Structure 1
Amino acid sequence: METYVLGDIHGAYRALVQVLERSPFRPGVDRLIHLGDVADGWPETPACVELLLSIPNSIWLQGNHDAWAAEWLASGASPDEVNMSWFLQGGKATYDAYLQGPTERPQQHYQAFFAQQRPYFEDDLGNLYVHAGYNPKQPVAEQPTRDLIWTRDLWRQHQQALGYQECFIGHTPTWPDSPVPTQRANVWNLDQGAAYGGRLSLLNVRTKAFVQSDVVRELYPGVKGR
């Protein structure tokens, strides 16, 4: 079994299909770890969730946009009641996509997917997977989920992920400065700006071989994204 780690999707179903088709990833054999932010930006969050739900042996981490989306999915709030920070930062695309589908789908996806997302994951090889980062001076299990889905210090300050072989994160785009999966110390960043003008990345944890989608903006001509 190989382990593959997937960067921030942000509703880009077409990019998700591309990286899975371009990778030697074997559904049902290999493990897939999604680093969070399946939601918000591009218009196909529900389709992304459906595809991830169909892949056996998957682990889904919570991103900050997922937390926002989950809050709305659980509440069913109207546009004038939603968190406007979410709505204006890609949430409207998620909101509109769910309203265009079956009425039962928001609750189904909340229960089956968003409510099952983890704040972090540690594998048996000593690696840590977390959406945004963590404070390496404290045990990750003792840190608030909000910090794990929001903090950028680990990446921006070039910190070492103490106590781990390697750490895999998303959240802070490396694009446009680095358009490919990027390493600092023992931390790998898999957010290559798929929400903006970059690409979606899928990386083999052992070999570091990776594939990428086309530029996501080109996959959705005429759509703003984030």
Structure 2
Amino acid sequence: MRRFVMSDSHGGYEAIVQCLKRSGFDNEKDKLFFLGDVVDGWSETMESIDLLLSIKNLVYILGNHDQWALDYYSGKMKQDEETLNLWLLQGGSATVKSYGAGKPMPKEHLDLLRQAKLYHVTEDNILLVHAGFDTGTPLEKSTSHTLIWSRSFVNRCYSSYTEDQPVTIAQYREVYIGHTPTMALDPAQTTPLQLGNVTITDTGAAFRGRLSIMDMDSKEVWQSDKVMCLYPYQEGRNAISWNQMSQKG
């Protein structure tokens, strides 16, 4: 069984398909650790979740956008207009459109989000989490905000990396993180970023980057095309489409 990690596809079904095909992923034999945020941004959240549900050995880690979508479709967001508007602006409107305005999310899709883990530690002591964690707090006592929202861990690791200080998280053999696009740290970093024994897997699929999939053991990486090129007439979370950019160019 090969082990792969992927994160933050944000409604980009076509990008997931490309990554799985290019990596030779076997839906029946291989394992996929998906580090959250399959929803919000591009138009195919429903298709994306259907595809993930077809993978026999899937470990799904909850992302902050997943939590937003879960709150919306479970009715928890009805009384919080400010959060609702923020979610819709940050890609939630595409998720609503994917399922159909006013229509529910299918139970099996809701169940994927409801049953998603806040973190996962493998048998060989590899930690997988969406946003990060507090190295001074036991994982089981960590808040969901820290695990699915906070960028403090990544920012500290990246700061050490840029100052040529070693980045080693002693508690774990390796750590895999999504949430923070590599290009937000360094515009030239278009592939997963390894900071010592920490790997950041979000390569900007929600915006102007590509979706990446990594073999956790060989470290080989495969990528989709630029996701905005796969949806050339959609703005996604960019406020401009690929087609509009090309016309301006």
Superposition TM-score, scaled by structure 1 size: 0.93
C-alpha distance in structure 2 between counterparts of 1:222 and 1:92, whole Å: 16
C-alpha distance in structure 1 between counterparts of 2:114 and 2:13, whole Å: 20
The question of 1:54 aligning with 2:65 is answered no
Q: In structure 2, what is the equivalent of residue 75 of structure 1? A: 75
C-alpha distance in structure 2 between counterparts of 1:25 and 1:33, whole Å: 12
Alignment check: 8 A CA contact 1:40 1:90 kept: yes
The question of 1:18 aligning with 2:26 is answered no
Q: In structure 1, what is the equivalent of residue 204 of structure 2? A: 193
Structure 1 residue 140 displacement after superposition: 1.2
Matched to 2:34, the amino acid is H
Alignment check: 8 A CA contact 2:71 2:77 kept: no
Distance 1:45 1:76, change over 3 A: farther
Q: In structure 1, what is the equivalent of residue 91 of structure 2? A: 90
* Deviates further, 211-220 or 169-178: 169-178
C-alpha distance in structure 2 between counterparts of 1:15 and 1:204, whole Å: 17
C-alpha distance in structure 1 between counterparts of 2:27 and 2:106, whole Å: 25
C-alpha distance in structure 2 between counterparts of 1:143 and 1:32, whole Å: 24
Q: In structure 1, what is the equivalent of residue 113 of structure 2? A: 114
* Superposition CA RMSD, Å: 1.9
Matched to 1:170, the amino acid is G
In structure 2, the residue corresponding to 1:10 is in which secondary structure? coil
1:165-208, CA deviations, whole angstroms, 9 ceiling, x for partnerless residues? Answer: 00001100012330001111211000000000000000001110
C-alpha distance in structure 2 between counterparts of 1:182 and 1:64, whole Å: 21
1:140-179, CA deviations, whole angstroms, 9 ceiling, x for partnerless residues? Answer: 1110112100111221111643300000011000123300
Distance 1:107 1:190, change over 3 A: same
Equivalent residues in 2 for 1:128-143, closer than 5 Å: 128-143=127-142
C-alpha distance in structure 2 between counterparts of 1:67 and 1:51, whole Å: 19
| Greater Cα radius of gyration, structure 1 or 2 | 2
* Deviates further, 192-201 or 159-168: 159-168
1:178 to 189, 194, 197: 189
Misfit runs of 4+, over 3 Å = 103-108
1:20-62, CA deviations, whole angstroms, 9 ceiling, x for partnerless residues? Answer: 1101222121111000000100011010000000110100000
2:214 to 200, 203, 207: 203
Distance 1:100 1:84, change over 3 A: closer
Alignment check: 8 A CA contact 1:73 1:106 kept: no
In structure 2, the residue corresponding to 1:15 is in which secondary structure? helix
C-alpha distance in structure 2 between counterparts of 1:206 and 1:107, whole Å: 34
The question of 1:168 aligning with 2:168 is answered no
Alignment check: 8 A CA contact 1:125 1:165 kept: yes
Superposition TM-score, scaled by structure 2 size: 0.85
Structure 1 residue 138 displacement after superposition: 1.6
Alignment check: 8 A CA contact 1:136 1:160 kept: no
Q: In structure 2, what is the equivalent of residue 215 of structure 1? A: 226
Structure 1 residue 139 displacement after superposition: 1.4
Matched to 2:142, the amino acid is Q
Percent sequence identity is 41
Unpaired runs of 5+ residues, structure 2, are: 158-166, 238-249
Matched to 1:116, the amino acid is Q
C-alpha distance in structure 2 between counterparts of 1:141 and 1:197, whole Å: 35
